[in-house]
A and B are shown apart, each in its own frame.
Chain A
Amino acid sequence: MDITLREIRKNYGAVQALRGVDASLRPGRVYGLLGENGAGKSTLMRVLCGRTRPDGGDILINGASAGALNPARALAVGVGMLQQDPLDFPAMKVWENFSLGGRGGGRAKAAENLANLSGSFHFSFDPDMRLADLTVGERQQLSLLRLLDAGVRVLILDEPTTGISLEQKEALFAAMRRLSKDENRTVIFVTHNLEEAVDMCDDILVMSHGRVTGEFTPPYSKEELLTRMFGEDAARPVKSSPAAAGRRDGRETLALSGAVFEGEGFDLADIDLCVRPGEIIGLAGLEGNGQEPLLRGLAGRARMKAGRLLLDGIDLSGKPPERFRFSGSHLLPAARLERGLFPDMSVREHFQLAFPELKGAGGTAFMEASCRRFRLPVRLSEPAVNLSGGNQQRLQLALIPENVKLLLLEHPTRGLDLESCRQIWEHLEERCRQGAAILFSSADLEEILDHCHRVLVFFQRRLFADVNASGLSAGALGALMSGQKGEGL
């Protein structure tokens, strides 16, 4: 069946996620959908499978408007989406999951359908196993079969190769080819991985800033694709001269060897890293590829399963978070109110907790001076929950102790206006001049290129590259984030 997207628009508040997307998708082909973080890929696909209601535009199926879609209606007309993280019921059995999302039926019928379908794709399932005991790849295969059982003609796969094994990936690609070529279905492959897209797709759509900015057919030029993904000036190095890389003398602030940190549903393994005083290191990559376990692990908040961690020469491997804190490691979480602050406690109480020595009039004077310095409103009795997002971040900054050695920040400027970002970075760079090392994650490539000495690139849930930031272009960084290692780096 033919699908035509016409002028699809979607706003989230002031953010225009989709600014009028036009595309047409024909059966029997594998389409690749490429784009950087926040380009609008996921939003567009959620609109197509009925999970997000667009603000404007129309979806035509075989030339007729499909009207307003919801997930059930989308499935009924034959559009199904395989989510990046499987949407299933881990506590239930394989056949129950298969039956719930598909055509239903009791155990015998579901098990028979499942056996037939999985045989034809060379998958294999024990219908009575609990889903929780399956690997992510197997759960994904089951979700795929369930969608096919439901009669899906248009199959959307959102970042399907993240977290699955190589064999599973090959089986998946074989299934995608078969579904498109032999069974004449439409397959849409949403990915960050340029290599895979080039290998698999009959058509590649590139999205940028809420629009489809290019449609390509083989033979593909990777340079052309990268330019379309990351903008015209992607090739231009952002920084002409590297900022002074801090004090290079003295011992390392951080030394990690063979570290394994526990993330949500996966382990970030084999991290070897050495950080010097005054260094600013950016963590780039698609969100959820290991940046969070690393930052949380360096604050003692993600379990360290193996390896050795030295902070300023002190072995902190497997130690509780308070030891990290007292040794000079300090994490500012992205979820400021949920993980970093105490919502109903006042600004004053936050200061008292962070600096136990603050007492009496002298303490109050210090707090007020600190508020002014960080451009916080001087209202010490205000609970943290009443502060704006920017002020919550400023409060977190104001509470960092003077002698911090390793400053860890998750998305330090997320959701903040330009002036706030500037102030925050001014302060952070000042900290570095005083000898602190900074590691921060960000979805904003500009932010990483503007402030870093070094960039750690995360790809497919591992540390993919550790590169010097001087002379690094957005395009080269984008290529690394898409799993390209190669010339010029």
Chain B
Amino acid sequence: MSAPGFRMAAPVRLVAVAAFAVAATLIILLLAGAPPLDAVSVILDGGVGSRIRALQSLGVWTPLMLCSAGLLLTFAAGLWNIGIEGQVVMGAIAATCLLRFFGEGAGTFPLVLGLLAGMAGGALWAWLSGALRVYGRVHEIFSGLGLNFVAIGLTLWLILGPWRQPGAASLSGTEPLPDDFWLPMPGGFPLWQTVLAAAAVIAVRIILTKSRWGLVVKASGQNASAAALWGLRPGLRALQAMAACGALAGLAGALQVTGLYHRLLPSISSGYGYTALLAVMMAGFKLGPVIPICFFFAILNVGSIQLPLGLRLDSSLAGVIQGVLALSVFVVAGLELRLRRRKGGA
């Protein structure tokens, strides 16, 4: 049963991916009418060119990393948690909701509660998606997609309705939170975000490699039928993995509110849930490569803000490049599979 045949060595694969990605990116930049080298240098300069910009990129890395860490758990459980985007949003809503109960001068304690509320909100949203799968036989991709729309709709309704700014309802968001509930950023350094993201990375690593729960989740994801027979309760594991992922996504959302925007915005999640999905798939569902890939995506996101200023290009070009990179990985993986089949003679 051992599959002999073709397997690319890691460096070969890396070079293949890089070559493909560079070629595809070049074509897109040329089509967009941008001098490729200039575009790359603008993005890099915008992402890490100065201390402030590097810290901004780090600030984007943290929610990406929190979401990716969570997704590693749901992928281990064999689940496609597309709903992560909505879970980020629900985390932001839950945190905002809790903090609105406290007024000025309540100290920093509510801030902690707000982060916990964010985790609970995200976990609840993810649990819903999981429960629909386990009890209702609705695939989590469909329920996740649906719940994403619901979460975004809920944000808009809150911003334009019950939580609108006094005077005029505006898509620019709710009223800013009191200063007490702003996450401290000493010297612009996203200290707490980074600490929490790093903690999530370490926790997920320990869970997946050392803990019995992680082992059971992996087994349930690999073969639910055998897992049921072994008494491992695969349905329960799916719900737990979803809730854990949702909690991390919700925390990311709560950090967006308390650390960055200090209010609820219509696009509070900035699409980081989807970006994290891309990052995790690109990393082959492994924790190690996810970390730098999230950094890279963060730099692209922050750096592309300079594109309209420097080159009169739309900043959405970053998203296109991101997508092309991920596609390159998939194309190379697909090529590898074909070559392996051919050489394996299957």
Interface residues, chain A, with chain B CB atoms under 8 Å away:
299, 301, 320-322, 324-326, 331, 333, 338-345, 349, 352-354, 356, 385-388
Contact = CB atoms under 8 A, between A and B. Distances in A.
Contacts of B226: 333, 339-342
Given A345-B222, A353-B219, A339 B1 contact: no
A352 B219 CA distance: 11
Contact of A339 (B219, B222, B229): B229
B312 interface: no
Interface string B172-193: 0000000000000000000000
B229 A333 contact: yes
A356 B232 contact: no
Contact of A353 (B1, B2, B228, B232): B232
Q: 5 closest pairs, A vs B, by CB?
A: A325-B231, A322-B231, A342-B222, A386-B2, A339-B225
B229 A321 contact: yes
Nearest to A324: B231
A409 to B, nearest CB: 13
Contact of A341 (B216, B218, B223, B233): B223
Contact of A356 (B212, B225, B228, B233): B212
B228 A301 contact: yes
B119 to A, nearest CB: 28
A324 B228 CA distance: 11
A386 B1 contact: yes
Given A353-B215, A356-B212, A385 B1 contact: yes
Given A345-B219, A353-B215, A325 B230 contact: yes
A387 B1 contact: yes
Contacts of B218: 342, 345, 349
Interface residues of B, number: 18
B328 to A, nearest CB: 25
A338 B225 contact: yes
20 contacts: A301-B229, A321-B231, A325-B231, A331-B229, A333-B226, A333-B229, A338-B223, A339-B225, A339-B226, A340-B226, A340-B229, A342-B218, A342-B226, A345-B218, A345-B219, A349-B219, A353-B230, A356-B212, A386-B1, A386-B2
Contacts of B212: 352, 356
Contacts of B219: 342, 345, 349, 353
A339 B230 CA distance: 10
Interface in B227-241: 227-233
Interface of B: 1-2, 212, 215-216, 218-219, 222-223, 225-233
Given A341-B223, A342-B222, A353-B215, A322 B1 contact: no
Nearest to A349: B215
Given A352-B212, A387-B1, A322 B233 contact: yes
Contacts of B215: 349, 352-353
A16 B231 CA distance: 40
Given A339-B226, A342-B218, A343-B223, 17 more contacts: A301-B229, A322-B231, A324-B231, A325-B229, A325-B231, A331-B229, A338-B223, A338-B225, A339-B223, A340-B226, A344-B222, A349-B219, A352-B212, A353-B216, A353-B219, A354-B230, A388-B1
Contacts of A340: 226, 229
Contacts of B227: 342
A325 B228 CA distance: 10
A352 B210 CA distance: 11
A343 B223 CA distance: 8
A301 B231 CA distance: 10
B52 to A, nearest CB: 45
Given A386-B1, A387-B1, A343 B231 contact: no
A415 to B, nearest CB: 13
A388 B2 CA distance: 9
Contacts of A322: 231-233
Contacts of A301: 228-229
B135 to A, nearest CB: 14
A85 B110 CA distance: 64
A408 to B, nearest CB: 10
A341 B222 CA distance: 9
Contacts of B233: 320, 322
Nearest to A330: B229
A156 B231 CA distance: 45
Contacts of A333: 226, 229
B236 to A, nearest CB: 9
Nearest to A325: B231
A385 B222 CA distance: 12
B259 to A, nearest CB: 39
Contacts of A385: 1
A343 B232 CA distance: 16
Contacts of A331: 229
Residue among B1, B216, B231, B232 having the largest count of chain A Cβ atoms under 10 Å: B231
B285 to A, nearest CB: 12
Nearest to B223: A342
A299 B223 CA distance: 17
Contacts of A386: 1-2
Contacts of B2: 386
A320 B215 CA distance: 21
Nearest to A359: B212
Contacts of B223: 338-339, 341-343
A322 B215 CA distance: 17
Nearest to B227: A342
Nearest to A332: B229
Contacts of A338: 223, 225
A301 B224 CA distance: 12
A353 B222 CA distance: 13
Residue among A325, A339, A342 having the largest count of chain B Cβ atoms under 10 Å: A342
A165 B225 CA distance: 33
A207 to B, nearest CB: 33
B220 to A, nearest CB: 9
A338 B222 CA distance: 10
A172 to B, nearest CB: 36
Nearest to B2: A386
B240 to A, nearest CB: 15
A320 to B, nearest CB: 8
Contacts of B222: 342-345
A385 B212 CA distance: 22
A487 to B, nearest CB: 42
A259 to B, nearest CB: 19
Nearest to B219: A342
Nearest to B225: A339
B346 to A, nearest CB: 15
A322 B216 CA distance: 13
Residue among B218, B219, B222, B230 having the largest count of chain A Cβ atoms under 10 Å: B230
A333 B230 CA distance: 11
Residue among A322, A324, A331 having the largest count of chain B Cβ atoms under 10 Å: A322
Contacts of B231: 321-322, 324-326
Nearest to B212: A356
Contacts of A341: 223, 226
